[in-house]
Amino acid sequence: MKEIESLRLIAAYYPELWPPDNVKDDIRLMLDAGINTVRMGEFAWVDMEPVPSTFKLELFSELISRLHENGIDTVFCTPTATPPVWLSHKHPERLFMGTDRIRMMHGSRQHFCNNNPYFRKRSRMIVEAIAKKISRLPGLIAWQTDNEMKSHVSECCCEECARQWRQWLKKRYGSIAKLNSLWGTSLWSQKYSSFQQVPVPLKTPFAHTPSLMTNYRIFSREKITEFQDEQVRIIRKYSDAPITHNSNIRHYLNHMEHYRNLDFASFDAYYDCDNHTKMLMDYDIWRNLKPGRKFWVMETSPSHSGCIFGYPKLHRKSYLNAEMAAAFALGAGGFGYWLWRQQRTGAEMPHGAIISSWGEPTIGFDDVKSASNSLGNISPLLLSSESIKAEIVMTYSDVARAFFLTEPLEGIDYIDKMHEFYRIILSTGYHRDLVPESAGLGGCRILMTPYLPCISDEYMKSALAFVEKGGVWIVGPLSGCRTDEHTLYTKSALRPGLEEAAGVRTSYTFSPTNSGISGTAFGVTAPLSIWSSFFMPEGAKVLGRAGDSRLAELAFLTENKYGMGIIVMLGSMPSGDKGKLMLRKIVEHYSVELGISQRLDVPEGNLAVPRKSKDGIFWFVINMDGKGCIFKDRKSGDVRIEPYGFRITR
């Protein structure tokens, strides 16, 4: 695989939508704005193959060469997110069907069933035609599969998906008797006599069994990854350029598996400037999907996002400078804008762009140019240094999200809950990582596992080995409480071995939300919330008790020595401002105990990122909230940072 050595500033470019005469001005303005890479092709299937098996790719191949001659390289995409009408006309069976049995119509994007055999065949054909034509062009530096897979739709429930679902079940369980036993299908007379009787999760009067619903989500995620991997194999026959996909944490994928066969991770996100902590969480997730490889922000807005249904607030002036600097400081290799030229038609006409539909710079142009200049100033330092693995690690799991989509309990949104937890760690000033379940724990000192209902055997083994060597594992809330079939355990409340290792036995599980039950730990009393576990200590030290006579002998927070380390059980979520303070004190307590030093004391609203060069550790300090800040540097004294600016300190 070819490495992409320089740092990239990318713009999404759609030459199929504009007259060829625009290209000269586009190139001039791109160079002025600091854009050195374009991404193209993801929505142009009908222009590439206007009728079946007639491929017309010269527009793109010639443009890639012309851009390269002017110092601009290309990421090329497979166009399978937008199949042409000739593929669906008179063939509704090829289209996506939701749980309500409604077929999608041609239009928009992602309207096809990705499991349809004919769609798969035509997808392979267009990908191979593209790979043959442009793979050896000198301006091609990377590939992107499709576009934002499963962003608009989740699980297809068409007849073809039903057929493949039953094959998947047979392979997974072997016999229908085993499925019935593990799913507990005697409940409500759901017991099946054959795999042919197992339904897809179409609408029912109340709800399908969670075992069916969660397994169907897992099946769907495996199949979309299978679809992508077909494209990857074809591209690699012709090209050694690296391959990625542009996703988002809210898309219906298992990203840990979806990126396994890709070369680097990239993502799209459109948070406004007041939601910068969500963007920082994304950075900390995506940089850990492909360890040792730089991640890319493939799409974000130069000014604001939007569509015909609405748009969020405009970025404040210079916010892009902070957003871009934070990305590269945290390990990015590329930072991209959607889009270059405002679309003159379609659902995203109001979306912010770098150039207007009439060819003039937009309100975001100067900020893009300013951010490009900033990157030019720090590129030598970024390229001669590397990001540092954090000693505080939190597990992020798309499988856990699938469980909560099935069983949201009191309206739990997994991503929002993880962001709530993430902001508390961020507020401490400690460097942190968010890693997938399969990640190695080398260098980790504190492992946090909130909202992981199903703790797999592999994860349990890895976490216990980590603790035995001296690590601190903070488990919960809502972790280890469901089997991998999305059922309850019957010999203990939590997964086998966890309670024993933690020195507790769960006595009660219920939700204390709005019930007046508070908990006290580390000198802080806060309301307890969400579905909770209350523990009888069996060797563990009690750190937090609830203020309710029914729970007098029980704890919601404990710690227990295990090997050379400690297992901390957080059975309930402290809420409100006092809850945030309690959680912060928990993180700080164990960080101090372990002597974790990856911390710079900067005011909240600012980000401190450590990097390592041949001269040692240095820090990027970036103002993210637009208020500017003053922090103390041990060598220089007070250091002032302007709004959305950054400084480098050693």
Please, what is the Cα angle at 446 between 293 and 573, to 5 degrees? 110
Q: Which residue in 42, 148, 160, 437 is the catalytic one?
A: 148
Q: Which residue in 299, 391, 437, 499 is the catalytic one?
A: 299
The token pair that represents 345 in the structure block: 């038609």
**DSSP 8-state class, residue 310:** B
Residue where the block lists tokens 């079940």? 169
Radius of gyration of the chain (CA): 26
Tell me the C-alpha distance between 300 and 312, whole Å: 13
Tell me the C-alpha distance between 243 and 264, whole Å: 7
Which residues, 6 or more positions from 360, have their beta carbon under 8 angstroms from its beta carbon?
none
Dihedral class, residue 6 (left if φ above 0, else alpha if ψ from -120 to 50, else beta): beta
Tell me the C-alpha distance between 250 and 436, whole Å: 15
- 3-state class (DSSP) for residue 587: helix
Count other Cβ atoms within 10 Å, centred on residue 40: 24
Q: Per residue in 95-123, is it b (16+ CB within 10 Å) or e — as a string?
A: bbbbbeeeebebeebbbbbbbbeebbebb
Tell me the C-alpha distance between 445 and 390, whole Å: 9
The token pair that represents 319 in the structure block: 């916010």
Which residues, 6 or more positions from 206, have their beta carbon under 8 angstroms from its beta carbon?
none
Q: What's phi and psi for 212, nearest 5 deg?
A: -65, -45
Strands (E), 458-578: 472-475, 504-510, 518-521, 524-529, 532-537, 541-546, 557-562, 565-570, 573-574
CA dihedral 246, 319, 430, 568 (to 10 degrees): -60
Residue where the block lists tokens 């009439």? 358
Active site residue 588: no
Active site residue 58: no
Beta strand 246-247 with 243-244 is unpaired
Instruction: Give the residue numbers annotated as catalytic, written as ranges.
Output: 148, 299
